[in-house]
Amino acid sequence: MAQHFSKRTQSPFRFDIVGSFLRPAKLKQARQQLSAGQITPQQLTKIEDEAIIALLQQEVQVGLHAVTDGEFRRSWWHLDFFWGLEGVQKVAAATGYQFHDEVTRAETVQLTAKISGHHHPFIEHFKFTQEHAPAGVQVKQTIPAPSQFLAELKRRPEQTRVAEFYLDQDDLLADIAQAYQQVIQDLYDAGCRTLQLDDCTWGAIADWQAHPEHLSESLDLEQLKDTYVQLNNAAIQNLPADLVVNTHICRGNYHSTWSYSGGYQSVAEPLFSQENVQAYYLEYDSQRAGDFQPLKQVSGDKYVVLGLVTSKSGTLENKAALIQRLQEASQFIDLDRLAISPQCGFASTEEGNVLTVEQQWAKIKLLEEVAQEVWGHEV
């Protein structure tokens, strides 16, 4: 007897995206012109608006049920959100983030006051996307996880000035959670019903546990895992019942290179068992991600979106091989609780990954073909 699959009516859908897309050349040029003082912020916003409207049309054309603004208004997937919080400002960093083959631009956050989530600019960004998305299509808002903000504050504490405003870590964690609660409630009031928390902290821990030599200082990794999951849960507790909150777990994505290596086994507890999200978007496009066995620890009826298609290369995956991988994963979690996506966004920063726009859309069409073959009409 053929297996019956439930139709997905909310995120995650059977084939899905993580969030970011390659920036159009005109948008990249406009950001450079703004930096050079050649155009005004208002002129940049107009170009962003036009690019987002065109992107939404393309997303719908390839059959996506949940769309994003491509993160077109951001330079970074995470820092722009942090800079939008009250009490946080943008500053140059001592060094960039170290990736496998490259070092990024050097920017970070610095506290100027206690942290608050009031009047976040992402609210207006969401409203614009919602207003221009076709009827019946869900708009997904992506933001970095609270744990990612904590990690950024701790990255170079002497530069982020945390100690000037928070002598006690519990007070810091409480304010981060409250700031996120404010932003999320404001997004909900603006019409958001699908929120995704993007999170590289678990990939970092997995790497550190596999390669402790990468640590520059001694860390209690078990305590850190507990802190991260408790903070993330505090930020998403007591939210409206019809707000879907998912998370995306990544090992770094910058100009087609990566930061971390290590499977999910070392972080499955508490990530898969205790974090109160509805779904996990998981990077699974390379051997660095390990095997599927940790999926057994995904608790309750949570969904898993397998990032089997890489966003780091334009080479198109083999459809039969992707279907086989889904079947392998179904040995550890029911196929009805699975979906498929790219392993990350196509442009976590404005630089973007090394592939063409045509290759980007071909990968999404491939995801749809795989989903149709695996789950039939219930995509």
Domain range summary for the chain, segments of one domain joined by +: 25-375
Q: Which residues of 121-138 are buried (b: 16+ CB within 10 A; e: fewer)?
A: ebbebbebbbebbeeeeb
Q: Which contiguous run of DSSP H or E holds residue 137? A: none
268 touches 294 (CB < 8 A): yes
- For residue range 185-203, what is the model confidence (pLDDT) as tens digits? 999 999 999 999 999 999 9
SS3 276: coil
The number of beta carbons lying within 10 Å of the beta carbon of residue 33 is: 15
Task: Please name the residues in contact with 135: beta carbons below 8 A apart, sequence gap of 6 or more.
Answer: none
pTM score over 0.85: yes
Residues paired with residue 194 on neighbouring β-strands, in sequence order:
140, 244
- For residue range 57-103, what is the model confidence (pLDDT) as tens digits? 999 999 999 999 999 999 999 999 999 999 999 999 988 888 888 88
Task: Specify the pairing of strand 86-92 against strand 107-116.
Answer: antiparallel
Domain range 25-375, its CATH number among 3.40.50.170, 3.20.20.210, 3.30.300.30, 3.40.50.720: 3.20.20.210
Q: Which contiguous run of DSSP H or E holds residue 286? A: none
Residue 109 φ/ψ region, left for φ over 0, alpha for ψ in the -120 to 50 degree band, beta for the rest = beta
Q: Where are the alpha helices (DSSP H) in 275-346?
A: 319-329
- For residue range 168-189, what is the model confidence (pLDDT) as tens digits? 999 999 999 999 999 999 999 9
User: How would you write the pLDDT of the chain (379 residues) with one tens digit per residue?
Assistant: 357 798 899 999 999 999 999 999 999 999 999 999 999 999 999 999 999 999 999 999 999 999 999 999 999 999 999 999 999 999 999 888 888 888 889 999 999 999 999 999 999 999 999 999 998 899 999 999 999 999 999 988 889 999 999 999 999 999 999 999 999 999 999 999 999 999 999 999 998 887 777 777 778 999 999 999 999 999 999 999 999 999 999 998 888 886 888 899 999 999 999 999 999 999 999 788 899 999 999 999 999 999 999 999 999 999 999 999 999 999 999 999 999 999 999 999 999 999 999 999 999 999 999 999 999 965 6
Residue 68 CA to residue 52 CA, distance in Å, equals 9
Percent of the chain predicted with pLDDT > 90: 85
pLDDT of residue 96: 83
